A and B are shown apart, each in its own frame.
Chain A
């Protein structure tokens, strides 16, 4: 079945870059998404990438997709304390016709 995996924690210093990684198993995924969840809040869509793209940049965010290895990453440049949150990657499972979420990566930014 479809599975999406992420590392649980990432800790970075303010001003450094953060890289959050995600692996998925569904080779038929068409879109892959990154969501951010702050404490007590719902999920905020950050960005997405279509499966025929390798990279997408949106201000401080860069998404890299290695379709061969089924690996997705989110790079946050100049990480700020306000970026501290849980980040979820999600794939649209073409075979299951639904969004499959990863376990989430808790990003902690320290001064």
Chain B
């Protein structure tokens, strides 16, 4: 069974540009969560999607958005990139809502975004 796949693995963008990251969850999983990891702030929750609906959102500006498709694949978009957006973006998938014994989150390798 394939794990969580995130593409691309590495990305370099210029300030002001926008970027789209992709996450393919484990087959059969319906929940996808996104996290930003930086040395200074650690792991910060961005948002969670379940069956194409955003169910929860972290404390990030509106430049950060996401969506989920009917096949559970998810994308996140960051517009008007800032230097501080440089981070490892991690996606996690769960069969259902995270937080239960049978719904623990499985993470992808992440996309390392560098904004110059």
B98 touches A44 (CB 8 A): no
Q: Could you tell me the distance between the alpha carbons of A88 and B92 in the complex, rounded to whole angstroms?
A: 15
User: Is chain A's binding surface mostly helix, strand, loop or mixed?
Assistant: strand
Q: Could you tell me the distance between the alpha carbons of A50 and B101 in the complex, rounded to whole angstroms?
A: 8
A97 touches B107 (CB 8 A): no
Q: Is A87 engaged at the interface, CB distance under 8 Å to the other chain?
A: no
Interface size classification for chain A: 20 to 34
Neighbouring B residues of A103 by C-beta, 8 Å: 42
Q: Is A10 engaged at the interface, CB distance under 8 Å to the other chain?
A: no
Q: Could you tell me the distance between the alpha carbons of A39 and B92 in the complex, rounded to whole angstroms?
A: 18
A-B interface contact total, Cβ < 8 Å: 60
Given A31-B99, A97-B99, A98-B98, answer yes or no on A44-B107 (Cβ-Cβ < 8 Å).
yes
Neighbouring B residues of A31 by C-beta, 8 Å: 99-101, 104
A42 touches B108 (CB 8 A): yes
Interface size classification for chain B: 20 to 34
- In the complex, which of the residues B48, B99, B104, B107 contacts A42, with contact meaning CB atoms closer than 8 Å? B107
A101 touches B43 (CB 8 A): yes
Q: Could you tell me the distance between the alpha carbons of A96 and B48 in the complex, rounded to whole angstroms?
A: 12
Given A33-B104, A42-B90, answer yes or no on A99-B98 (Cβ-Cβ < 8 Å).
yes
A98 touches B100 (CB 8 A): no
Neighbouring B residues of A50 by C-beta, 8 Å: 101
Q: Is B24 engaged at the interface, CB distance under 8 Å to the other chain?
A: no
Most chain B beta carbons < 10 A, residue from A41, A94, A99, A103: A99
A42 touches B110 (CB 8 A): yes
Query: What 8 new A-B contacts, CB under 8 Å, besides A42-B108, A50-B101, A99-B33?
Result: A41-B110, A42-B90, A45-B107, A48-B101, A96-B56, A97-B55, A97-B99, A104-B43
